[in-house]
């Protein structure tokens, strides 16, 4: 039996293949050894396609942080575009624009898997932390408990406006969030925004929103600013959702500005204006079907 050489000279002795142990079982033993800091090269007669098939069934982060360190052959396999393209295909992760494949399939895979809401404190759980108050009219913004349930029952608080215009804003720095200029320019992933708003039934109110994609100098490249939504006195409207998806917006996007709010239309003291909560901005590199 050919000798195996150690990748690391430190740590416990590498495992030996037991009598009757299959090649796939031996690979799994090597993976467990590597995850504990003990890396061993497999026997040379184990075909790499078998290794890759097993790696494709392991979590991506483990393949990069652990399996890639086993030996040169595994490193080349994990670093190949073909490995990550195959992983994307198996998991149904494909670019929004099939004519523009990713320059880096591994980066594309992880960015897609780590999709998240880029807005901080969207549900008023931490009062106004993360938000810039742009307008604070009437009796000013407040963050209170939500009395009218949303489809998402985890939302328990909301932001409430007053009789003067109330607006708040967040500026998202895409580079700091992990989306490089090269990725944004080449891939131009869809950017999905969502916002929930509701009036009080005993007062008229008004809702407005403006979301801008900005360049490095914070000049607008693309803007979503629909007409203001007005509710009459005595309405029975439930929570409403405002959504929009930015597509084909061109290169240069480095920031996203999200501004929303409103007021009541009766000019009543207190907080009878529009309520907002559960806002989101998401980068969506993959086709959602």
Mind listing the domains of the chain with CATH numbers? 23-113 (1.20.1280.50), 132-284 (2.60.120.260)
Q: Which strand ranges, in their side-by-side order, compose the sheet holding 157-160?
A: 142-145, 157-160, 275-284, 190-198, 240-246
Q: ∠ CA 288-122-200 to the nearest 5 degrees?
A: 105
CA pair distance 141, 262, nearest whole angstrom: 10
Question: What pLDDT, in 10s, does the model give residues 93-138?
Answer: 888 777 788 888 888 888 888 889 999 999 999 999 999 999 999 9
- pLDDT for 109: 85
Going 132 to 156 to 245 to 107, the CA torsion angle's sign is positive
| 158 within 8 A of 240, measured Cβ to Cβ | no
Phi and psi at 218, nearest 5°, equal 70, 30
Question: What pLDDT, in 10s, does the model give residues 163-177?
Answer: 999 999 999 999 999
């Amino acid at each position: 039996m050919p000798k195996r050489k150690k990748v690391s000279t430190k740590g416990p002795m590498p495992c030996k293949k037991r009598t009757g142990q299959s090649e796939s079982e031996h690979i799994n033993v090597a993976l467990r050894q590597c995850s504990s800091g003990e890396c061993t090269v497999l026997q040379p007669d184990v075909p790499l396609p078998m290794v890759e098939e097993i790696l494709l069934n392991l979590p991506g982060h483990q393949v990069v942080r652990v399996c890639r360190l086993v030996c040169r052959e595994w490193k080349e396999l994990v670093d190949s575009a073909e490995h990550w393209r195959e992983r994307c295909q198996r998991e149904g992760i494909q670019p929004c624009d099939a004519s523009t494949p990713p320059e880096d399939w591994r980066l594309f895979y992880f960015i897609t898997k780590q999709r998240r809401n880029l807005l901080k404190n969207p549900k008023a759980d931490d009062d106004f932390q993360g938000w810039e108050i742009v307008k604070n009219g009437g009796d000013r913004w407040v963050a209170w408990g939500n009395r009218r349930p949303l489809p998402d029952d985890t939302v328990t608080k909301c932001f409430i406006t007053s009789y003067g215009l109330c607006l708040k804003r967040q500026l998202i720095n895409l580079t700091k969030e992990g989306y490089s200029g090269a990725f944004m320019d080449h891939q131009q992933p869809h950017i999905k925004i969502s916002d929930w708003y509701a009036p009080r039934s005993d007062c008229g109110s008004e809702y407005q929103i403006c979301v801008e994609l900005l360049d490095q100098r914070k000049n607008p490249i693309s803007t979503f600013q629909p007409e203001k939504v007005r509710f009459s006195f005595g309405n029975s409207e439930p929570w409403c959702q405002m959504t929009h998806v930015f597509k084909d917006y061109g290169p240069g996007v480095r920031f996203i500005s999200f501004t929303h709010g409103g007021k009541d239309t009766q000019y009543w003291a207190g907080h009878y204006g529009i309520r907002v909560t559960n806002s989101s901005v998401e980068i969506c590199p993959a086709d959602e079907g």
